[in-house]
Structure 1
């Protein structure tokens, strides 16, 4: 008995220790996947910066601090991001070096003309960066910024331009190599892993969203907010896919597969929105009998796609269940329709359209689930579809105004420098160019620039302390690294904060640029303060220019972008059908994302932009469906003399309505849709005995009816006017 009493506490204590260790392991994994990643990023950033500084000093380069600055401009949490940035930075640096040399050769001893050429070059590069986003943006930005960094300090000393160009290129190259090597070799954080995790989260979130919409319905505001989040995910997915392609050969080989997945996700979102809109209109119109007839299918579908614990296997199972549902759906719909045939023609058209949209949504969801499951399991896709590339679109006025803003900011600083012969004027011009470049795609460029100015001020003050009290009292590179590491880590940490990133970027970049150590340290506090004042003043001036000269959020510009968004319906009416669906969807989502970034959150203009996007997707998709169905029914042209003319008139009037939305255009479009519907009904009576042709005409009528209900929707933005 004593032995048992002696053993029992030991067993209990082991269990307690095991539970404690298990809880500690869970907590450690949670920390490692959240805050731990931030600390790892800080460690890698500081390591890469100090390594670049040491190598540049070892190679006896003129300004090793430029190599360290390059690291802080370049470093990203994921290795794929750094590799992508490095690739485009190399291209941008090479082009910028050549541009600086060419301008120097053309305008020898002519600082005014040289400055004019430099302003035009840098502004053009920044404007091109806005037009070509993602990491192409970074290549264009570096082409302009590198030219300024090399050429501006040598405006009055052209004989040193050639040597300065190659020295600066070497310093930048050291920073590129160090940041890429540290990111890829020290605990690399693969963006491909993040991409897979994001796909899983997106599939689960969309499944919950779709189940809520189909099962219980959502209020208008709640639906719009959740749908807007999906738009942001679609646009962000493309950038992440590019990152992953740079680091993972498997992801690079499956890039088309990923593109098709994003296209099918866009299609499923659009079909879900169409179902939601039609059901909302049926309830608003009081079609109780039709709602009661179609609601059981919605609820059954909601139960079929309800999320399960295992997301990967669930996608395969959901696709299999939906295939069975899709196979039996036509027969069940016909049985449900028979008792409704005595109902008015309008109500019967509502039921037919709802059934058609339900079938199309199920088809899109099956494709999306199969593609997602095959990607997650790294197997070939279940069915192959045409996959066109993601098409981004930027308004030409946005590009032109970006050029003008950058040119004005740099011209004001440059003219002041040349007129006053300010010793730190060249650095002020570089600061203005840097502000214009780094904030070119920021949602609020002036706010971020002010944050960078505050960060530059703090960097100047910290640099003064290092120049006067730290550098003179240390000896050796290890001690230098020890003193620099906390300051650099602080700047990198603040830069990871979403709402305060400008402070961190300004502090880290300008501390390295203003007070970073060189092989021969110059103890000149007055020069440091003067340079700091120049940089801060140029950043504040750039912020004022961003607010005064063609501000990004001005109503006129957002209306132009909104006009581009509405013009997507014109594209749907007139574009080539091959791959039209994905091209239409991707460019529409891209324009909407730009509007959401420019407009203030929770503002009326932002909600209006989202509603234009929703009605554009709704009508545009229906027009593309209509054109596809008409293309599958070429025999109808010979059966009715007004067939082609009525459909062409419908497309033309819809396009005109979205180009110039007004009551007259709306009335004209409704008349055209009604005329095309009558024509299709006449053809349907002609081919009624042929089952396949009858189904073709019924699908065409469903498309026309859905377009008509979308135009009559009281919540549509052109009706709100």
Structure 2
């Protein structure tokens, strides 16, 4: 009897259902949703909150019967940020800037009543000074200074020809701006708030894991020069970015604000660890290039062992306390093991022994710095129920990150802004152009928003194209949309897609200028007021005025005042070399912290200006590495010499030789020329010989012998830095 064919589970009707059961994996689905919520979901949440804040501001301003609700709405798109701490910080400085700008507009109006030329000159000087101050005092203080200038222009320029309305305009403009500030802050803080403290916490964790991996790569196998420079420069950018984040996080978390000193100490420790790792990398590079096989074979196992300790745990499950404990044990056994390894090398040359001692000393210092950083990091132990940690550990010392800015760069920003605004203002006064006042306001806005941009020409051009798109879109709304709708809900429905589009483009890297220009200028040109004025010709004229102002700024930024001019970058490089001079001459208390923070901040400024690969960018990077390397070594040398004060009694010439060495090194960075290099090398050799003679005198005393060996290691490292073929001291 023939059997019927049974339906197999893998065929027929049952296959899709079976596969459906197999494919739908609840944990995988939840993980995918969490990944989306932490990436693209954050962008959509930002768009939702931005549009909500804009429409809420428009409704409140209309309800309060303010004359220009579109100004309040514009405020939201200038102010809104993804994280509540950013918005609160911006709001705080915006309130201060708005108040100062309002007072400045009233004072200028009182001083130059019915004197439009003098009033315009005073306004140009005030706005340019505010922009220059914004460049000098960066991060969110930048925003306060920018608003002090922009608010004065926004209030005063439309009333140049009608000063009798200045006081009323100041009051209404301040009220409109205040509505925008309050609404954007409330929406950001109340609707699914994204805490900056959580971002800072994730940043610290990822930085710890990334540095562990980077250090392991440097120690275990070494990195190519370009690869090391790229990864090291990204660490420097993280240092400056951390300081900016720490600033605005304090506005949303009072606990963090009380622990700001602890976080500053954490960043300072990270800078020290980066400097030690850089010194180790430079020494290893020189040992490999010089063919010191015996020294590399002697110290190599220690580097491999340390790299293994740093990468023993998975990056996503790093336990800093365990790493610190392992490193502490490694450090405790290191001196004894180094002495045992050194005994067979006693018969080698003096230079080889100096290389070995220097490598051992740098290794010990790096381990000590990473232990200190790990301990500080562990003390920030988060609890699940809290957004930020609490502990009773006391920060051992004060630490303050400094952000120096070259005075010529500040003056450059002042002159550049004055020329752009002056051209727009002169043309307006000479031609009596009805929309000329808005062109001056647009010139003020673009100068302010691009004052710290790495490519202001590109930013201004994108904002100009955004203004064109805003004008065309505004024309369509003015002629075809507004006349055909009735009621505030319908108004919100038609405005929401347009506002969301501009906000979305503003979040795209490389296209932010388009989004900013479109969002801000659409609100400024075509957002509805309480009494809508259907005047498409006025809208087009105003759009042309804003576009011309953006393009004028782009031309001036590109042709007259490009930010990457050689003399300007040369000045900043001079400031960076001056940090090495300070390391040689300034008072020791707090010197290491000042040197680290100033140098890293200047490096970030140079990297922002020199965005394109070029010879000047390579030269700047070489000077950056040489400044960090020699400056840090000189500070170590001076600290070790200050501790070993008994050497002055053993050798009266010692203090003078060390001072002479520091002076010659400072002269090398002040005037990098062959003669200065030869003099610095000679001074380092003389100090080394004298230290070797003193070492023979105190050889029987273990503590004093170790002091002199550390001093010799510092001198030897400085000498190898001066002899490095990649060093920038020699002209090429």
TM-score w.r.t. structure 1 length? 0.97
Which of residues 34, 40, 47 in structure 2 aligns to 1:42? 47
Question: CA distance change for structure 1 residues 385 and 360 in 2, over 3 Å: closer, same or farther?
Answer: farther
1:560 and 2:565 correspond: no
Where does residue 597 of structure 1 map in the other structure?
A: 608
Of 121-130 and 642-651, the range deviating more from structure 2: 642-651
Question: CA distance change for structure 1 residues 15 and 386 in 2, over 3 Å: closer, same or farther?
Answer: farther
Q: Is the 8 A contact 1:191 1:244 kept in 2?
A: yes
Of 83-92 and 222-231, the range deviating more from structure 2: 222-231
1:667 and 2:672 correspond: no
Where does residue 370 of structure 1 map in the other structure?
A: 375
User: 1 CA distance for matches of 2:624 and 2:210?
Assistant: 21
1:101 and 2:106 correspond: yes
Secondary structure at the counterpart of residue 719 of structure 1: coil
Deviation digits for residues 257-294 of structure 1, max 9, x if unmatched? Answer: 11111111111111111011101111211221111111
Question: CA distance change for structure 1 residues 638 and 671 in 2, over 3 Å: closer, same or farther?
Answer: same
Deviation digits for residues 70-105 of structure 1, max 9, x if unmatched? Answer: 000000000000000000000000000000000000
1:151, distance to aligned residue in structure 2 (A): 0.3
1:13, distance to aligned residue in structure 2 (A): 6.9
Where does residue 466 of structure 1 map in the other structure?
A: 477
User: 2 CA distance for matches of 1:622 and 1:385?
Assistant: 23
Where does residue 155 of structure 2 map in the other structure?
A: 150
1:642 and 2:642 correspond: no
Which of residues 258, 264, 269 in structure 1 aligns to 2:263? 258
User: 1 CA distance for matches of 2:720 and 2:280?
Assistant: 12
Which of residues 295, 317, 341 in structure 2 aligns to 1:336? 341
Where does residue 534 of structure 2 map in the other structure?
A: 523
User: 2 CA distance for matches of 1:603 and 1:255?
Assistant: 39
Where does residue 556 of structure 2 map in the other structure?
A: 545
Secondary structure at the counterpart of residue 498 of structure 1: coil
Deviation digits for residues 89-148 of structure 1, max 9, x if unmatched? Answer: 000000000000000000001000000000000000000000100000000000000000
Secondary structure at the counterpart of residue 281 of structure 1: helix
1:382, distance to aligned residue in structure 2 (A): 7.2
Q: Is the 8 A contact 2:381 2:391 kept in 1?
A: no
| Structure 1, unaligned runs of 5 or more | none
Secondary structure at the counterpart of residue 700 of structure 2: coil
1:79 and 2:84 correspond: yes
Q: Is the 8 A contact 1:650 1:669 kept in 2?
A: yes
Where does residue 67 of structure 1 map in the other structure?
A: 72
1:153, distance to aligned residue in structure 2 (A): 0.3
Query: How do 1:436-455 and structure 2 match up within 5 A?
Result: 436-455=447-466
Which of residues 292, 303, 314 in structure 2 aligns to 1:309? 314
1:446, distance to aligned residue in structure 2 (A): 0.8
Which of residues 53, 60, 65 in structure 1 aligns to 2:58? 53
Where does residue 401 of structure 1 map in the other structure?
A: 412
Where does residue 127 of structure 2 map in the other structure?
A: 122
Displacement over 4 Å in runs of 4+: 12-15, 310-313, 379-384
1:501 and 2:512 correspond: yes
Pairwise CA RMSD = 1.7
Q: Is the 8 A contact 2:265 2:395 kept in 1?
A: no
TM-score w.r.t. structure 2 length? 0.95
Which of residues 662, 668, 674 in structure 2 aligns to 1:657? 668
Where does residue 588 of structure 1 map in the other structure?
A: 599
User: 1 CA distance for matches of 2:642 and 2:429?
Assistant: 66
Secondary structure at the counterpart of residue 178 of structure 1: helix
1:413, distance to aligned residue in structure 2 (A): 0.6
Q: Is the 8 A contact 1:263 1:387 kept in 2?
A: no
Where does residue 386 of structure 2 map in the other structure?
A: none
1:380, distance to aligned residue in structure 2 (A): 4.3
| Number of residue pairs aligned between Structure 1 and Structure 2 | 713
Of 549-558 and 598-607, the range deviating more from structure 2: 598-607
Secondary structure at the counterpart of residue 319 of structure 2: helix
Q: Is the 8 A contact 1:452 1:506 kept in 2?
A: yes
Q: Is the 8 A contact 2:159 2:166 kept in 1?
A: yes
1:205 and 2:210 correspond: yes
Which of residues 567, 570, 573 in structure 1 aligns to 2:581? 570
Q: Is the 8 A contact 2:399 2:593 kept in 1?
A: yes
User: 1 CA distance for matches of 2:392 and 2:110?
Assistant: 56
| Structure 2, unaligned runs of 5 or more | 1-8, 383-388
